Chains A and B, each alone.
Chain A
Amino acid sequence: MKILICISNVPDTTTKIKFTNNNTTFDVAGVQWIINPWDELALTRAIELKETNAGTIENITVIHVGLNTSDPTIRKALAIGADKAIRINAEAKDSYFVAAQIAEFVKKEPFDVILCGIESSDYNGFSVGGMLSELLDYPSVSALSSLEIANAEIKLKRGIDGGHEVISIVTPFVGIVQKGIAKEARIPNMRGIMMAKAKPLQVVEPVLIDNFTEFVSFEYPKPKATCKKIDPENVKELINLLHNEAKVI
Chain B
Amino acid sequence: MSILVFAENWDGKFKKQTFELVSYANSLAKLLNSSVVALSIGKVEDDELKKLGNYGATKILNVSDNRLNTLDNKAFTITIAQAAIKENANIIIFPHNITGKAIASRISVRLKAGLVTGVNGLPTSTDPFTIVKKSFTSKAFANIVIKTPVKIITLFQNAFGIIESPASPVIEAFAPEINDSDIKTIVKEVNKVTGKILLTDAEIVVSGGRGMKGPENWGAIEELAKLLNGATACSRPVSDEGWRSHEEHVGQTGKIIAPNIYFACGISGAIQHLGGVSSSKYIVAINKDPEAPIFEVADYGIVGDVQKILPEIINAVKELKS
CA distance A227 to B282 in the complex (A): 10
Give the residue of B73, B97, B302, B319 whose beta carbon is less than 8 angstroms from that of A230. Answer: B302
Interface size class on chain A is: 35 or more
Binds A, one of B21-29, B161-169, B187-195: B187-195
Answer whether A139 and B142 are a contact pair too, CB < 8 Å, given A127-B101, A238-B313: no
CA distance A99 to B135 in the complex (A): 19
Give the residue of B101, B142, B308, B313 whose beta carbon is less than 8 angstroms from that of A239. Answer: B313
Interface set, chain A 224-249, CB cutoff 8 A to B: 224-225, 227-230, 232, 235-236, 238-243, 246, 248-249
Query: Which residues of A are found within 8 Å of B77, using beta-carbon distances?
Result: 134
Binds A, one of B31-39, B58-66, B113-121: B113-121
- Using CB atoms, name the residue of chain A closest to B148: A212
Query: Which residues of B are found within 8 Å of A168, using beta-carbon distances?
Result: 185-186, 188
CA distance A214 to B192 in the complex (A): 39
A214 touches B73 (CB 8 A): no
Query: Does chain B have a CB within 8 A of A197?
Result: no
Query: Does chain B have a CB within 8 A of A55?
Result: no
- Using CB atoms, name the residue of chain A closest to B113: A212
A139 touches B247 (CB 8 A): no
Query: Which residues of A are found within 8 Å of B200, using beta-carbon distances?
Result: 161
B147 touches A162 (CB 8 A): no
Mark interface residues in A119-145 (1 if CB within 8 Å of B CB, else 0). 001111111111101110001111101
- Using CB atoms, name the residue of chain A closest to B154: A126
CA distance A109 to B136 in the complex (A): 32
A218 touches B135 (CB 8 A): yes
Query: Which residues of A are found within 8 Å of B313, using beta-carbon distances?
Result: 235, 238-239
Query: Which residues of B are found within 8 Å of A145, using beta-carbon distances?
Result: 246
Mark interface residues in B260-285 (1 if CB within 8 Å of A CB, else 0). 11000000000110010010011011
Query: Does chain B have a CB within 8 A of A163?
Result: yes
Interface residues of chain A, those whose CB is within 8 Å of chain B, are 11, 13-14, 16-17, 19, 26, 37-38, 95-96, 99, 118, 121-131, 133-135, 139-143, 145, 155, 158-170, 173, 176, 178-180, 211-221, 224-225, 227-230, 232, 235-236, 238-243, 246, 248-249
Enumerate 17 A-B pairs (CB-CB under 8 Å) in ascending A order. A37-B252, A118-B101, A124-B136, A127-B101, A129-B105, A139-B185, A142-B73, A160-B192, A161-B99, A178-B253, A217-B142, A220-B141, A230-B302, A232-B302, A232-B309, A238-B313, A239-B313
